[in-house]
Amino acid sequence: MHVLITGGTGYIGSIAVEIMRTQGFEVSILDDCSTGHADSVPTGLRFVAGSLLVRADIDQALEGVDAVLHFAGKSLVGESVEKPELYQRINVDGTRNLLDAMKSAHVMKMVFSSSAATYGEPKEVPIRESAATLPTNPYGATKLAIDHMITAESKTHHLSAVSLRYFNVAGAHKAERGWLSERHNPETHLIPNVLRSTPNNPVRIFGTDWQTPDGTCIRDYVHVVDLVNAHIKALETLTGTGHEIYNLGSGTGYSVRQVIAAAEKATGQAIPTQDSPRRDGDPAVLVADISRAKQYLQWEPSLGIEEMVADTLQSFQ
């Protein structure tokens, strides 16, 4: 099967490229490298250095393709609050262009990187796919708009699609040519920031008085390798037409202090921290109910927080 990976030079996309090509998939990449890194592209692979906003680039990338894994997009919550029109243009309009081009090229299979941000502040935890979707920022709103667009496309144009709503993706993957890992700038994810914490620039803990066992926020983390494997399983389910949505997480939450403790164990050193006030809009606990993915994708995460921290640490060395 020939798969186009949009966003294939980014964090998750580059690891998807690596795992899929070693499993025998033919892989092409479409990426404008706005937040990705061209040096992650393996030699000999078709790489269209282009944008979701340019139809000719998408058409070129879709040549000979059977299915699309759609990772490309903007994904910083804070930036989306400052520049909502940018998120509308790249995420929503860009995906519209991709869907139109897929229709013309008769490519009818898609797996989309949706997000837990579509749910907003949940009334019940763990969060099921049937929970209300009330995003609290423009980033989450664009992911929800795309999910709706894909549902409509599956009804009107026979698209076969899966949206995977990731919680927090972490960890790294060792390819033959070296580690592939997070290289976001700015880095907003907890694990890399914990590992880079220094006495002069300590990692901040936003709120220590939450209604949780140790007072810090609880989040759900999934290892990037488990996440990519879920995409491969999702691809296998794309037979008829329709649009399914699955949460991807570990189904278990870890508090900020538990992540810091895992990092201290991995590094053998105390991690400098700074207690800070709560951030607006941060719920106390966000944990996925992953029973749908277990049942319908036959998928289960195999790597825990220790591996996520240890692999990230190794990738930095």
Residues that bind ligand NAD (CB under 6 A): 7, 9-13, 30-36, 51-53, 71-73, 75, 90, 94, 113, 115, 166, 168-169, 184
Beta strands in 207-264 (DSSP E): 218-223, 242-248, 253-255
- C-alpha–C-alpha distance, residues 150 and 153, integer Å: 5
Residues 6 or more apart from 104 whose CB is under 8 A from it? 59
Nearer to ligand NAD, 94 or 135 (CB): 94
CB of 224 to ligand NAD, least distance (A): 8
CB of 56 to ligand NAD, least distance (A): 13
Q: What is the 3-state secondary structure (H, E, C) of 31-63?
A: CCCCCCCHHHCCCCCEEECCCCCCHHHHHHHHC
Residues in the chain: 317
Nearer to ligand NAD, 7 or 126 (CB): 7
Nearer to ligand NAD, 32 or 129 (CB): 32
CB of 172 to ligand NAD, least distance (A): 12
CB of 4 to ligand NAD, least distance (A): 11
Nearer to ligand NAD, 75 or 154 (CB): 75
CB of 50 to ligand NAD, least distance (A): 7
Catalytic residue check, 87:
no
- C-alpha–C-alpha distance, residues 151 and 193, integer Å: 36
The count of other CB atoms within 10 Å of the CB of residue 236 is 11
- The answer to whether the beta carbons of residues 145 and 105 sit under 8 Å apart is no
* Residue of 242, 302, 298, 236 whose CA lies nearest to 25: 236
Nearer to ligand NAD, 89 or 272 (CB): 89
User: Of the listed 139, 166, 221, 246, which one is catalytic?
Assistant: 139
What is the set of active-site residues?
A: 139
